[in-house]
Amino acid sequence: MSDKTVLITDSASAKTSTLPLVSGNMGEPAVDIGKLHKDLGYFTFDPGFVSTASTRSAITFIDGDKGVLLYRGYPIEQLAKQSSFLEVAYLLINGELPTSAQFGAFEDEVTHHTMMQESLKNFLHGFHYDAHPMAMLCGAVASLSAFYHDTLDISDPEQRRLAAIRLIAKVPTIAAAAYRYSIDWPIRYPRNNLEYCTRFLHMMFEVPSEPLQLNPVVAKALDLLFILHADHEQNASTSTVRLVGSTGANPYACVAAGIAALWGPAHGGANEAVLKMLADIGDAKNVGKAVEKAKDKNSGFRLMGFGHRVYKNFDPRATIIRETCHQVLAALGVNDPLLDVALELEQVALKDPYFIERKLYPNVDFYSGIIYKALKIPTEMFTVMFAIARTAGWVAHWLEQHQDKDTKIGRPRQIYTGATTRDYTPITKR
Ligand code: SDX
C-alpha cells in the first residue's frame, strides 16, 4: 500500500473522498475504491474490467506498452531460450527456479500422476466421435473431482498442492485421449520413461502397429510453445479460474471453468480461428481485401490473432513464435503457404492507419497455429494445446489465491437498466 492518495469530489454535493493508491513492485498504481461508496454513494462502472485490477499477484508481470512479459521476474525471452515447460510450471507455482534435486522430485511426481482413471475412457466414449476436443477436455477435467473425494479439502495446503500436480500431469493424457477417440484409435497410456512433451506426442501419435519415429525438433518446438502459453496474469480464463476459486469450488471445477473460458475465439480459441482465417484468405494477393473487411465495423470480421487488451506493442510471444516458425518449418522441411499469407497480412496491417491508431499488433495466437500445423497437430486441437500449457498458470493462480488473506468471493455490482417497480397483472387481464 502506498501513502499517496487521490481526492475525488462529487460536483453535485461537493462531498469528497480521499482514496489510497495501491502500488506493486512494478507497473502502474491503482486507486483503492473500497470506501468510495461509503463516502460518496457511488460504485464504479468498468465493463470488461478494462481499467480494474481484481487482485494482487506475484506470478506474472506484463508491460503492454513496452511488450514486456516476466514469469516470476524472469523475461519470457530468457525462459524461452534456456528453460523447459515443466521447469516453468515449477517456477510459476513455487516462485523460484528449482535446484536440480527440486526439479527431479517435481518431474518424478508429475510423471507418476499422468495416468487417467480407466473409467474416464468410458466418459470420453460417451461423446459423439465428432465432438470438439475442447468440449471433451472441459467435461473430463470437471469430472476429475469425482475421483478424488479424499483429497478435496482445499483448506489443506498439501491437498491443494497435490491437485495442482494431478492437473498438470493429467490434462495432457486426457487431451491426447480425446484426440485418439476423435480418430477412432485406441488411447496410448503415458510412458514414464519419456519427458513431458515427448510423452504427450507419443500419446497423440503413436500407432499400435509400429513405434513412433519422432523428430526431436517437434518436442522442442512444442515445449517452447507451452512455455510461451503457460501464464499471462489476469486474462479472461485465469480470472475465471480465480472467480470460481473464490467460491471455494474444487480445483478441477475451477480449471474446467478456465478451459471453457479459454475456448472463446476472442481468447484462446483465436489460434484455431487464425488458421481458418488464413485458409479463407488463401493467398497473399487477397490480404488487402481481408484487411479492409476487418476495418469495416459492419462486416463483423476481425483479424484473428491481432490486437490485445494489454499489449499496445508487439506481443513478445508473437515475436518469438514468428522466429520459431521459420526454424521449425525449415527443420521439418515444411513449406506452408499459409505462413506467406500470415507474413503478408502482418506487413499490410501494421502499415495501415486503422491498426496503427488502435495499436493492434499480432498476438500470441497469430503464428502459433502455423507451427502446430507443421507439428501435425490437427486444427481443432490448437486450443487444447493452449489449455495444456495454461493449466500451469491456472493452478499457480489458484494456489496463490488460496494463500492470499485478501481473497473474498468475487461478486461485481451492476447498472440496472430493466423495468422499474410495477404490479403483477393477472393473465386474464393481459
Ligand atoms: C489471447 O488477456 C490475455 O492476456 C489473453 C491472452 C493470454 O495469453 O491469455 O494473451 C491470449 O486471448 C490473445 C487474444 C486472442 N484473440 C484474438 O486474436 C481475437 C481478435 N482480437 C480481438 O477480438 C481483440 O483485439 C481482443 C479481444 C484481443 C482485445 O479486445 P479489447 O481489448 O476489448 O479491444 P476492443 O475490442 O475494444 O478493440 C479496440 C478497437 C475497436 O475498434 P474501435 O471501436 O476503437 O473503432 O480495436 C478494434 C476494435 O474494433 N479491434 C480490431 C481487432 N481487435 C480490436 N479490429 C480488427 N481486428 C482485430 N483483431
**Residue 103, amino acid:** F
pLDDT confidence of residue 381: 97
Residue showing cell 508487439: 314
Residue showing cell 502506498: 2
Burial (Cβ within 10 Å: 0-12, 13-18, ≥19) of residue 45: exposed
pLDDT confidence of residue 3: 80
- Kindly report the pTM of this predicted structure: 0.96
Answer yes or no: is the C-beta of 72 below 6 A from any ligand 1 atom: no
Contact indicator for 231, 71 with CB cutoff of 8 Å: yes
Q: What share of the chain is helix, strand, coil (3-state, %, to 5)?
A: 55, 5, 40
Nearest residue to 173 via CA among 153, 154, 159, 191 = 191
Contact indicator for 72, 92 with CB cutoff of 8 Å: yes
45 Cβ contact partners less than 8 Å away, ≥ 6 residues apart = 415
pLDDT confidence of residue 363: 92
Nearest residue to 96 via CA among 120, 74, 63 = 74
pLDDT confidence of residue 371: 94
**How many whole angstroms from 372 Cα to the centroid of ligand 1?**
22
Assigned C-alpha cell, 60: 506474472
Q: Which of 295, 308, 382 most suits a substitution to test ligand 1, by most atoms within 8 Å of the C-beta?
A: 308
For residues 67-76, one letter each, b for 16 or more C-beta atoms within 10 angstroms of the residue's C-beta and e for the rest, the string is bbbbbbeeeb
Answer yes or no: is the C-beta of 274 below 6 A from any ligand 1 atom: no
**Rounded Cα gap, residues 361 and 136, in angstroms:** 32
> CB atoms < 10 A from the CB of 241, how many?
30
By three-state DSSP, how is residue 110 classified? helix
**Rounded Cα gap, residues 104 and 100, in angstroms:** 6
Answer yes or no: is the C-beta of 270 below 6 A from any ligand 1 atom: yes
Mean pLDDT, each 10-residue run in order, the chain (430 residues): 87 96 96 97 97 97 96 98 98 98 98 95 92 97 93 95 98 97 93 97 93 93 98 98 98 98 95 95 96 95 95 94 93 93 94 95 93 95 98 98 96 97 97
> CB atoms < 10 A from the CB of 15, how many?
12
Nearest residue to 231 via CA among 390, 5, 399 = 390
pLDDT single digits (tens) 332-376: 999 999 999 999 999 999 999 999 999 999 999 999 999 999 999
Phi, psi (rounded to 5 degrees) for 5: -140, 165
Q: Which of 306, 317, 365 most suits a substitution to test ligand 1, by most atoms within 8 Å of the C-beta?
A: 306
> CB atoms < 10 A from the CB of 179, how many?
22
Answer yes or no: is the C-beta of 359 below 6 A from any ligand 1 atom: no
Question: Could you give the count of Cα atoms lying within 13 Å of 74 in the half-sphere of its Cβ?
Answer: 20
pLDDT confidence of residue 1: 52
**Rounded Cα gap, residues 226 and 21, in angstroms:** 36
